[in-house]
Amino acid sequence: MVTVIAGLKGHGKTKQLISLCNSASGKSSGAVVCIERGQKLKYDINHGARLIDTIPYDIRSYQVLRGFITGLYAGNYDISEIFIDSLYKVSGNSDSQECEKFLHWCDTFGAENGVNFTITISVGDEDITEGMRKYMTAAPNAEC
């Protein structure tokens, strides 16, 4: 399953992701992973979740990000939750069509392997595709 939290900068997406990640790390029977670019969540994410900064891995495309996630899972089949903060920053690509393809891949990968994805995307309503919208749980640009 894929859940997208979308909206413009400053609308509480990361705060919501932190809350969901910390809750999952306390409840999940599997491993919880949170992927970010940089180390801004270092003191916010519960120690029960594995926090990964992608900067040292030089991820610059959705293809590389897919390989990274696949490698994480290959190294730990117990992963049940993956949280990605600021997908456009992590992937190095803000193309909405490529994002849509990545979300579809996450949905397929998650269904095949029992992994839930929660992803934040900084995007305005006018740039959200229908393929992206189907994974959203709340209206874009709404206060979280």
Confidence band for 4, pLDDT divided at 50, 70 and 90: very high
pLDDT digits (tens, 9 = 90+) for 77-114: 999 999 999 999 999 999 999 999 999 999 999 999 99
130 is a domain residue = no
Paired with 2 in beta bridges are 117
Query: What's the domain count of the chain?
Result: 1
In a domain, 135, yes or no: no
Q: Is residue 132 part of a domain?
A: no
For residue 102, what are the domain limits? Answer: 2-122
Tokens for 18, please give them. Answer: 């932190």
Phi first, then psi: what are they for 53, rounded to 5°? -90, 125
Phi, psi dihedrals of residue 28, rounded to the nearest 5°: -70, 140
Give per-residue pLDDT as tens, 21-53.
Answer: 999 988 888 899 999 999 999 989 999 999 999
Q: What is the CATH number of the domain that holds 92?
A: 3.40.50.300
CA dihedral 77, 80, 85, 88 (to 10 degrees): 60
Determine the Cα–Cα distance for residues 7 and 118; give it in Å rounded to an integer: 14
What 8-state DSSP symbol labels residue 10?
Answer: T
Residue among 135, 98, 131, 108 at smallest CA distance from 120: 135
User: Distance (Å, rounded) from C-alpha 108 to C-alpha 112?
Assistant: 6
- Stated pTM of the model: 0.91
